[in-house]
Amino acid sequence: MRTPPLPTLLFCLLSLALSAQATRLFTIGPGKDYTRITDFPWEDLVAGDVVEIHHNGSAYREKFNVAAIGTVAAPVTVRGVPDAAGNLPVITGENAVSRPQLDYWNQYRAPIRIGEALVPLHGQTPSYIVIENLEIRSARAPYTFTNTAGNTEAYHERTAGIYVEAGTYLTIRNCTIRDCGNGLFTSHNTYDVLVEGCRLFENGIVGSDRYHNAYTESHSITYQFNYIGPQRPDCRGNAVKDRSSGTVIRYNWVEGGAKQLDLVDSDYADIYTLASYDRTYVYGNVLIEAESDPGNKIVQYGGDSKVWERYRSGTLYFYHNTVISKRTGAAALFRLDGSSIQCLNNILYAPNGLVMMIGNDSTVTASGNWITSGTIADSAINQFGDFPGWRDFAAHELTLRADSPCLDAGDALPGAIPAAHRVQYEYRALAAANVRDDAGSPDLGAFAFYGVRTSQATDDVYAPIEDTRLYIPPALGLLANDRVDLDYPARPILLQAPAHGSVSLAG
């Protein structure tokens, strides 16, 4: 018998309480200290300051930059205060105006920018900054804004809702970002970034694959408890594109995009030479590939520049994820070049086929997974079936039933995965979290079961293909007649036979 834990948020989504470390509280909104965002002296922020932006009944058409220096005990916090119905304050980039007293470069890059400035000019990188509880939208071409000099300026296709040009110890929490070129963008001059409990969707530029819901290149970044959804119609970008070192993606719900996770190479030696660049942790996520998505790859790991020495050459630890493909044809679970993947304790559900596209000097090791019947894998270390025993698949209720074959079916994680990256939580809609409690052997996928297990589900058919391992060296692959086209040489590896097609060995 398992006792269900109380729902627990790791973060206070709508906290209005002032931190004990805060030295000053400023309020913006109707009847507050400042009526408009541009009335507030952003150039005077110091450690411990808290700025509260109250819901104004419509939207703030205003922009600002944060260049302040906080501390671990006294961060600088910009916090939205919702209305009585819980609606977050809205900042729109469309026809937004800027505070004339500010002066900073790259004003076209976002309604909210974090980075150094000419005013204030202090020669230090912003640090310990928290942006939370805001909705940012409508910042992209062809929208325009008024800059700090009073001139009308157009946004760029790559404009983001929040653009972090430089900073250390940065937190973006419980923000909704939509209708921008990129949703969130962090540059290579950013360090220790946390993206937590946000909703990033409906961003992108029509016809382009260069702009994404999140595009990050930081020295250490963690995504957790976020909902990252489809882009705007006819946009071809990714849900998450990341070029960071120390990348951790955990407990998120990610759907849509050409790829759900595009984890590729950095352009900067101070990132790609770090040891943490070659260790990436992706766990506890739901990844959904839809029929309407512009591409058929779910996870890419390695690089895309064709500058091979920059590629991630280490290991992607991919475990306790729930992966779903709704495509009528095959989807590519992994695309990797010169790297390795440990694929452990996942639910991989794809009735119409999965492939893996594996380049030279790459390996995938899979064990403890539940995989749709027909999969090429070792039946001794993975299990197979037609349905993994979700409560309500049509409604995206992906917690496990009492008769699920995925209960207590996981393997112990390898010692190479540190304690800090053991599965402790699970995603809860929307953009929240529960504590996860696996009694005994771990349950598979992103969600644990709480209750008493019954007999195995009758709609699950155990039908393994014997004597074939999923540990596949690049010298040998299994090719399907509906293979995926490649933009440069790699060998497609069949993970699951297509519903209609033939499979043969190829040397």
Averaged pLDDT, 181-208: 98
Instruction: Give the strands of the sheet with 152-154, arranged side by side.
Output: 96-97, 144-146, 152-154
pLDDT single digits (tens) 81-114: 999 999 999 999 999 999 999 999 999 999 999 9
- The whole-model pTM stands at 0.87
25-435: which CATH architecture?
3 Solenoid (2.160)
Share above pLDDT 70 across residues of the chain, in percent, rounded to a whole number: 83
Res. 376 pLDDT band, cuts 50 70 90: low
Averaged pLDDT, 40-59: 98
CA 253 to CA 274: how far, in whole Å? 28
The secondary structure of the chain in percent helix, strand, coil, rounded to multiples of 5, reads 5, 40, 60
Q: Backbone phi, then psi, for 270, in 5-degree steps?
A: -70, -10
Averaged pLDDT, 322-340: 91
Q: Which residue has the higher pLDDT, 197 or 364?
A: 197
Nearest alpha-carbon partner for 80 in 110, 107, 59, 105: 59
Res. 5 pLDDT band, cuts 50 70 90: very low
| Joined tokens for residue 191 | 């360090």
DSSP state of 209: S
pLDDT single digits (tens) 449-502: 877 655 444 333 322 222 222 222 232 232 222 233 333 333 344 444 444 433
Share above pLDDT 90 across residues of the chain, in percent, rounded to a whole number: 73
Question: Please, which residues bridge with residue 349 across strands?
Answer: 324
Averaged pLDDT, 386-400: 93
Sign of CA dihedral 292, 296, 301, 302: negative
Averaged pLDDT, 270-294: 97
Query: Lowest-confidence range among 38-42, 262-266, 321-325, 375-379?
Result: 375-379
Q: Which residue has the higher pLDDT, 338 or 28?
A: 28
DSSP state of 102: -
pLDDT at 169 exceeding the cut of 70: yes
Read out DSSP for 232-271? STTB---SEEE--EEEEEES-EEE-SS-SEEE---S-HHH
pLDDT at 217 exceeding the cut of 90: yes
CA 108 to CA 106: how far, in whole Å? 5
The pLDDT, as a whole number, for residue 374 is 62
Name the E strands within 313-466: 315-319, 322-325, 331-336, 340-344, 347-349, 354-358, 363-367, 370-372, 383-385, 390-392, 397-400, 425-428, 432-435
The SS3 call for residue 275 is helix
Res. 380 pLDDT band, cuts 50 70 90: low
Cβ-in-10-Å burial (0-12, 13-18, 19+) of 22 comes to middle
CA 367 to CA 364: how far, in whole Å? 10
Indicate the average pLDDT of the chain: 86
> Which amino acid appears at position 297 of this protein?
K
CB contact set of 291 (below 8 Å; sequence gap of 6+): 326, 327, 328
Number of H helices, E strands in the chain: 1, 43
Q: Which residue has the higher pLDDT, 181 or 364?
A: 181
Nearest alpha-carbon partner for 188 in 167, 213, 205: 167
Element (H, E) at 76: strand 76-81
CA 451 to chain centroid, in Å, comes to 30
CB contact set of 384 (below 8 Å; sequence gap of 6+): 370, 371, 372, 373, 374, 375, 377, 462, 463, 464, 465
The SS3 call for residue 506 is strand
CB 481 within 8 A of CB 500: no
Res. 186 pLDDT band, cuts 50 70 90: very high
The pLDDT, as a whole number, for residue 452 is 62
Averaged pLDDT, 319-343: 93
pLDDT at 507 exceeding the cut of 80: no
CA 182 to CA 19: how far, in whole Å? 31
Cα separations (Å) of 317 from 169, 185, 304, 344? Answer: 24, 24, 20, 8
Q: Backbone phi, then psi, for 439, in 5-degree steps?
A: -85, 130
Averaged pLDDT, 217-230: 98
Please state, as a whole number, how many other Cβ atoms lie within 10 Å of the Cβ of residue 326: 16
pLDDT at 431 exceeding the cut of 90: no
Name the E strands within 151-252: 152-154, 160-164, 167-173, 176-180, 182-186, 190-196, 199-200, 214-216, 219-224, 227-228, 240-242, 245-250
